[in-house]
Amino acid sequence: MMTSPSFQPTPSIPFELRQSPIQGLGAFATRRIRKGARIIEYIGERITQAEADVRYDDESMERHHTFLFNLDDDTVLDAGTVHNESRYINHSCEPNCQSLIDKGHIHIYALRTIEPGEELTYDYAYERTPEMDDDAEGLYVCRCGTPSCRGTILAPEKKAPARRKKAASKAKRSAKAPSKSKAASKSKSSPKPASKSKAASKSKSQATSRSKSAGRGRRAAS
């Protein structure tokens, strides 16, 4: 099973690989893993975003099957070549692990205490790009089987925040104030641009600088 020369085994990992009801091989805890424990580093060949697009053409695939993980705006880890056991940790919409980037490396951590025999999972949260349509949901299908399964390994769609009545009412009252106070109130109550998360900033930069299908097939760390 592990005869590939590109496979780099990790010593003393707290899980074993065997058939998973979610997909192919999965990682199953062999001992109790405490909440917050660092389980394994996700490794892969470090390539550019452009090289990742050349290697994997999502539009020609019947079903998604890549192992790309965004490290930063310019670099992707491709576990389809160099890899370790982390490559076989499956996605779940109700995960017991999470992926975090630390000093140029991606590690998988336990979100909660994991008991022996449990399958390790994390949310792949594949990054959405502006050109994605309903067909993308079918390409990136999820079979985790959890009660809250969203049916796809793509990250949840972000909804525009609802306008709060309290803020609207405050603006209306400030309109009755004298001109000097009105200007000050307007400036004070004007909404500030929300600070972009790392993932949101990353998605925008990729969408503006890469081709139509670029950005698909990348896992995003929390």
Indicate which CATH number applies to the domain containing 95: 2.170.270.10
pLDDT in the model for residue 180: 41
Residue at 180 is within a domain: no
Q: Is the pTM of this model over 0.85?
A: no
Regions of the chain short of the pLDDT cut 50? 1-3, 167-214
Residue at 168 is within a domain: no
Please state the φ and ψ torsions of residue 169, each to the nearest 5 degrees. Answer: -65, -40
Q: What is the four-CA torsion angle of 177, 180, 182, 187, rounded to 10 degrees?
A: -160
Residue at 186 is within a domain: no
What is the percent of the chain where pLDDT is above 90?
A: 53
pLDDT in the model for residue 160: 59
pLDDT in the model for residue 60: 63
Name the domain count of the chain.
1
pLDDT in the model for residue 157: 80
Give whole-number Cα distances, 112 to 39, 42, 95, in Å.
Answer: 12, 19, 9
Range of the domain at 112: 15-158+195-219
If we measure between CA atoms, which residue out of 143, 142, 158 comes closest to residue 196?
158
Question: 102: part of which helix (H) or strand (E)?
Answer: strand 97-102
If we measure between CA atoms, which residue out of 42, 124, 128, 136 comes closest to residue 91?
124
Residue at 116 is within a domain: yes
Residue at 185 is within a domain: no
Count H helices, E strands: the chain? Answer: 5, 11
